[in-house]
Amino acid sequence: MVGLDVARCLALLGMVATHVLDERTAGGDLVTAQWLAGGRASALFATLAGVSIALMTGGRTPVRGRARGRRTASLAIRAVLVALVGLALGELDSGLAVILAYYGVLFLLALPFVGLGARALALLTVAWVVVAPVVSWAVQPELPARDFASPSLGDLADPGGLAAELLFTGYYPALPWLAYLLGGMALGRADLRNRRLLAALAAGGVAVAAAVTALSRRLTAGAEELLVGQPFEDVDSLLDEIATGMFGNVPVGGSWQWLLVVAPHSSTPFDLAQTLASAVAVIGVCCLLARLLPFPGRVFLAVLFGAGTMTLTLYSLHVVMRTPDVWPDEQPAAFLEHVVVLLGIGAVFAAAGLRGPLEWVVATASGYRYFMTTTPVPPTEPGTDPYPGGIPEPGPDIPDPFPDTPPVPTPQPGEDPMPPEPPD
């Protein structure tokens, strides 16, 4: 869990960097932050959402029957609440493409797949990466034109247009982006405590990302059809320009060869494959680091990157901070201000063992305690504890939702609660 929180924190800081820092130097070169985080940070954010869904629905062994229905209901409520937070943030004049409304839709789209295992999810992810962008590109000419503003509460008056934007035409179109959640769910169904697997994920993710990028460059070389309607003399200049990112999709009605580009936020098969592979690599590295560190190092890591435990709250705060009427800022100090504020708040909450404010509200309103238990919680009078003796332990009448997970012994004072693994 510490490794996943570190990855979430990196995703948050990557999105902040792409929002706050300039995309290019004075000489026109792509800055390191944009090259590293552009398109990848938000993809990591979405992939980690898939990991969370898998962990909340049984981990390595998907929950079945009534337990699956109850957890799916809780996740559905959570998705709607997160989407509403995103629509509310869209009302602010932040100038950002707020991801949370799309994020909520992605949660809803992922729910039919929570009963699948790791292998089935991995195969489905590969198919989705290839097919979904083609379907999205084909239907977009028939959909309403978008207005290039973040979805907001006012858009609820036009549900058809809002649905088209959230699913197909927006900055983070949910239909192709579901590939990230499916890939994350496949990871969450795997054994993320296995050091060999984590090392393979890290190395394999880097290799796939590099190979996909190289293949895209090779296939687009000389693709003059890309230049139709574009103010560029050659393909290399065009690809260099869109390296700073597109607006969620390739040009509507353009040549099919646009599906070969690997530009950030283009939602092409190559873009999805490259950014998903990068996300897998980051998750593998972060989880492996957390496994290899001794107990004091893990504690330090958990506090330093505590922002990863409350990304809903801190991402929302970041959007508010980017609203000039609320938090006027200027380059280059703006990025440092965001990092200090977000990491500082996250460290305080992590050290105190507290949940983020929005995380607490969403968990409470979605009935987390009720829906995530394996047996129905009896109704209680207001102000009374439904579990006066504590949440019941699994037993003959209460099936264990994680049957493959061994019990964790209670550590003695000063003892490492996560001792080193035995030799392979």
Joined tokens for residue 254: 């353009």
The pLDDT value given to residue 344: 95
Residues 185, 75 contacting (CB under 8 angstroms): no
The pLDDT value given to residue 373: 56
Burial 169-196 (b: 16+ CB within 10 A, else e): bbbbbbbbbbbbbbbbbbbbbbebebee
**Model confidence at 420: pLDDT above 60:** no
For the stretch 398-415, pLDDT in tens is: 343 334 444 445 555 555
Placement of tokens 């990112």 in the chain: 245
Q: What is the DSSP letter of 151?
A: -
In the beta sheet, which residues pair with residue 30? Answer: 24
In this prediction, what percent of the chain has a pLDDT beyond 90?
61
Question: What is the mean pLDDT of the segment spanning 44-56?
Answer: 94
For residue 101, is it within any domain?
yes
Residues 166, 79 contacting (CB under 8 angstroms): no
**Model confidence at 286: pLDDT above 50:** yes
Cα angle: 150, vertex 151, 155; to 5 degrees: 140
Residues 57, 373 contacting (CB under 8 angstroms): no
Distance in angstroms (rounded) separating the CA atoms of residues 370 and 392: 13
For the stretch 218-245, pLDDT in tens is: 999 878 888 888 888 888 888 888 898 8
Cα angle: 160, vertex 136, 83; to 5 degrees: 50
Ramachandran region of residue 267, left (φ > 0), alpha (ψ -120 to 50) or beta? left
Residues spanned by the domain of 193:
2-19+32-369
Question: What is the mean pLDDT of the segment spanning 240-252?
Answer: 89
Joined tokens for residue 124: 């489905």
Distance in angstroms (rounded) separating the CA atoms of residues 391 and 416: 25
Among 158-167, 233-242, 254-263, 269-278, name the one with the lowest average pLDDT.
233-242
**How buried is residue 258: exposed, middle or buried, by Cβ count under 10 Å (0-12/13-18/19+)?**
buried
Phi and psi torsions of 30, nearest 5°: -70, 130
**Model confidence at 381: pLDDT above 90:** no
Joined tokens for residue 356: 């983020």
Residue type, 19: H
**Model confidence at 287: pLDDT above 50:** yes
The pLDDT value given to residue 379: 43
Q: Which residue has the higher pLDDT, 400 or 5?
A: 5
The pLDDT value given to residue 372: 60
For residue 387, is it within any domain?
no
Name the 3-class secondary structure at 24: strand
The pLDDT value given to residue 225: 85
For residue 333, is it within any domain?
yes
Distance in angstroms (rounded) separating the CA atoms of residues 142 and 99: 24
For residue 403, is it within any domain?
no
Distance in angstroms (rounded) separating the CA atoms of residues 213 and 210: 5
The pLDDT value given to residue 419: 53
Q: Which residues contact 414 (CB under 8 A, 6 or more apart)?
A: none
Q: Which residue has the higher pLDDT, 186 or 25?
A: 186
Placement of tokens 């549900």 in the chain: 159
Q: What is the DSSP letter of 1?
A: -
**Model confidence at 380: pLDDT above 90:** no
Concatenated DSSP letters for 34-95?
HHHHTTHHHHHHHHHHHHHHHHHTTTTS---HHHHHHHHHHHHHHHHHHHHHHHHHTTS---
Give the confidence band of 136 by pLDDT, cuts at 50, 70, 90: very high
Among 170-179, 265-274, 323-332, name the one with the lowest average pLDDT.
323-332
Report the number of distinct structural domains present in the chain: 1
For residue 86, is it within any domain?
yes
Count of residues in the chain: 424
Concatenated DSSP letters for 249-269?
SSPTT--GGGGG---TT---H
For the stretch 289-322, pLDDT in tens is: 999 988 888 899 999 999 999 999 999 999 999 9
Rg of the chain on CA atoms, in Å = 22
Phi and psi torsions of 375, nearest 5°: -130, 155
Global pTM value: 0.85
For residue 411, is it within any domain?
no
Residues 308, 9 contacting (CB under 8 angstroms): yes
Q: How far apart are the first and last CA of the chain?
A: 22
For the stretch 100-122, pLDDT in tens is: 999 999 999 999 999 999 999 99
Distance in angstroms (rounded) separating the CA atoms of residues 23 and 206: 23
Question: What is the mean pLDDT of the segment spanning 379-403?
Answer: 42
Q: Report the sign of the C-alpha dihedral through residues 133, 138, 143, 147, in that order.
A: positive
For residue 401, is it within any domain?
no
User: For residue 359, how far is the Cα from the chain centroid?
Assistant: 15
DSSP H stretches of helix in 111-194: 118-139, 159-164, 174-188
Q: Which residue has the higher pLDDT, 404 or 179?
A: 179
Question: What is the mean pLDDT of the segment spanning 273-300?
Answer: 93
- Supply the mean pLDDT for the chain: 86
Among 27-31, 121-125, 342-346, name the one with the lowest average pLDDT.
27-31
Question: What is the mean pLDDT of the segment spanning 137-166?
Answer: 91
The pLDDT value given to residue 408: 46
Name the 3-class secondary structure at 384: coil
